[in-house]
Amino acid sequence: MRIALFPGTFDPFTNGHLDIVEKGLGLFDQVVVAVGENASKKTMFDLETRMKWISKCFENEPRVKVTQYSGLTIQFCNEVNATFILRGLRTIGDFEYEKQIAMVNADLDPSVQSVFVLSEQKYTAVSSTVIRDLILHGGNYAPYLPKAVTIDVKPV
């Protein structure tokens, strides 16, 4: 079985993230969406809320599993038997950043392959950071989030 891990903070989970998972389902038998806990990052939404949103987005897709993790992504791949790390690219800056991480991950465990997919053009300008700013300042964030997320967005 070809299992891909899609790691991220997903604060919040966006239409761009949704697009990457859907593309991953075309390539892999299973996509594990791993919501990372990062002590150095201050998130707007708590872990339970973020996991609930993602689970609701894929409630009718049994090939998507949603879980949480902390620590090194490459180690978590081994825990869930993922031999691929799925990453989305919006810009050349994303590519440079992701390439560095992929090279280190390949050194740590050559059996896990990083796979990059391009996000749709309409998602390239939107990041979770931009959406958090819209939420904080009363902007219209709804077009950038799946319906499962826009229903009950409440900052922590």
Active site residue 111: no
Q: Which of 23, 50, 87, 90 is the catalytic position?
A: 90
Q: Do 148 and 51 form a contact (C-beta atoms < 8 A)?
A: no
Using DSSP's 3-state secondary structure scheme, residue 66 falls into strand
Q: Which of 41, 42, 137, 154 is the catalytic position?
A: 41
Tell me the HSE value of 43 on the side-chain side, using a 13 A CA sphere: 18
Active site residue 137: no
Report the relative pairing of strands 64-69 and 84-89 from DSSP bridges.
Answer: unpaired
Active site residue 17: yes
* Pure H helices in the chain: 15-25, 47-57, 73-79, 92-108, 128-136, 147-150
CA distances from 8 to 1, 12, 22, 138 (A): 22, 10, 16, 25
Residues with catalytic function: 17, 41, 90, 128
